[in-house]
Amino acid sequence: MTSASPGIEPAGRPTISSSSAAKRVLLAKPRGYCAGVDRAVVAVEKALELYGPPVYVRKEIVHNRHVVDTLRERGVIFVDETSEVPEGALVVFSAHGVSPAVHEEAAERNLRTIDATCPLVTKVHKEVNRFAKDDYDILLIGHEGHEEVEGTAGEAPDKVQLVDQAEDVAKVAVRDPSKVIWLSQTTLSVDETMERVDQLRERFPQLSDPPSDDICYATTNRQVAVKAMAAECDLVLVVGSTNSSNSKRLVEVALKAGARASYLIDFATEVDESWLDGVSTVGVTSGASVPDVLVMDLLTWLAERGYGQVDEVTTANEKIAFALPQELRKAAKADSGRS
Ligand code: SF4
C-alpha cells in the first residue's frame, strides 16, 4: 500500500555480508528519530529557549523515556490535561495531536499554545474532517486508548468508529455501506493493517481507501528495514519505550519476519545477558522517537560482549524535515528582530 514518499531515496536491495565473524551486529537503517519527532522535540527546546521554564507539555511530547526525562530536567512540566496548566501559561501539544475539544479548552483557559502535532497526523485529521463533511462513516484502524487515535477520532466523534482487534470488525455498524472509508493511525504494522482492511472489506465490499497512506513513511521504512535483516538474526533488539506504538510494532515485525527472539528495551542496561546465549547475529533497530545516542550505547554494550562487528543494513535514505510550528517561527523571528 505504500508508495515512495517525497524526500526518501530507496536504497536498492540491501546486501547483508556473509561475515565469518562468529558474533556480529546487523544495524537497521533507517531507524530512530523521524521528522515529526525531531520537530516536536526541537519545538519544546526552542520554547524553553525563547520563553524560559516552565514550559508545560500536554502528554509526553514523544513516547520516549529518555527524551521526556531530559526535557523534564530542563524545566518542562508534563501534564495529562490542559486543565492542569495554570491560566495564561504556555502549553505545547505533543506530536500525537489533539482533538478540537482540547484546543477549545485551552482557548477557554487563555493558554498560549504551540501545536507540535506531526504534520502527517494533521493530514489524517484533515481526512477525517473531509469525509465526515461528506457524511461518510469512518472506520479508524488504530489502538484503543492511544493519544493519536483519541485526537483523530475527536475531529468527528459521531462519524468515527475505532477498529482495533479483529473482533471489532463484526461490531461495526454503518448507515450506508456505499459511504464507508477506512483511515488509520500513523504508527501501525503495515501488514496487520492490511489484514484488518481485508476483513472490513469482506463486510463492506464498497469500502473506500484513504486518498493516500496514513501509516507514515517513518513507520513503514523502519518496518521494511527490520524485515530485511530479521531472518538473519538470532535476536533483534529494538530500542524504544513500551508506550511507543511504532517501536512495539518493530518487535512484532521482527518476529514475524524470522528473528528467533526480539525484545523492546529503553536502555542497553535493560538487556538480559541470558538473551545472548548461543546468539551469533544480533539485529539492532530503534523506534521513531528514539535518539541515536541510545542505540550507540547499546552497540558499545554489545561490543564489550564480543559483538564488535557492526554491519549496517540500509533499505532507504530519508531526507524529510518539517518546519517548526508557525507559533514558534513567528516568535523566533520577532526575537531575532529585537536582538
Ligand atoms: S512516526 Fe510518523 S506520524 Fe509519528 S511523528 Fe514520526 S513521522 Fe510523524
Q: Which residues define the annotated binding site for dimethylallyl diphosphate?
A: 63, 96, 146, 244-246, 289
pLDDT recorded at residue 14? 66
Give the three cell numbers for residue 64: 520516549
Q: State whether the beta carbon of 124 lies less than 6 angstroms from ligand 1.
A: no
User: Over the chain, what is the mean pLDDT?
Assistant: 94
Residue 156 belongs to domain spanning: 120-203
The answer, yes or no, to whether residue 4 has pLDDT greater than 60, is: no
Question: What CA–CA distance (Å, rounded) separates 329 from 208?
Answer: 38
End position of a domain, from candidates 151, 181, 203: 203
Number of domain units in the chain: 3
- The reply to whether 224 and 300 lie within a common domain is yes
Do 187 and 230 reside in the same domain of the chain? no
* pLDDT at residue 339 in the model: 63
Tell me the CA distances in angstroms from 274 to 181, 271, 295, 305, one per residue in order: 47, 9, 20, 12
181 with 237, same domain? no
Query: Per-residue confidence at 83, pLDDT binned at 50, 70, 90?
Result: very high
User: From ligand 1's centre to the CA of 286, what distance in Å?
Assistant: 14
In a domain, 332, yes or no: no
82 and 149 inside one domain: no
20 lies in the same domain as 41: no
Residue 298: which H helix or E strand, with range? helix 292-303
Cβ of 142: how many Cβ atoms within 10 Å? 26
Give the model's pLDDT for residue 205: 98
Atom of ligand 1 nearest to the CA of 288: 1
C-alpha cell at 273: 545477558
Answer yes or no: is 1 within a domain: no
Instruction: State in Å: Cα 175 to ligand 1 middle.
Output: 32
Q: In 3-state terms, what secondary structure has residue 197?
A: helix
User: Is there a domain that residue 177 lies in?
Assistant: yes
Q: Is residue 211 part of a domain?
A: no
Q: What is the mean pLDDT of residues 131-143?
A: 98
Give the pLDDT of residue 334: 82
Please report which confidence band the pLDDT of residue 2 belongs to, taking 50, 70 and 90 as the band edges.
very low
pLDDT at 137 over 90: yes
| Alpha-carbon gap, residue 331 to 50, rounded angstroms | 8
Domain assignment present for 138: yes
Residue 50 · residue 328 · CB < 8 Å:
yes
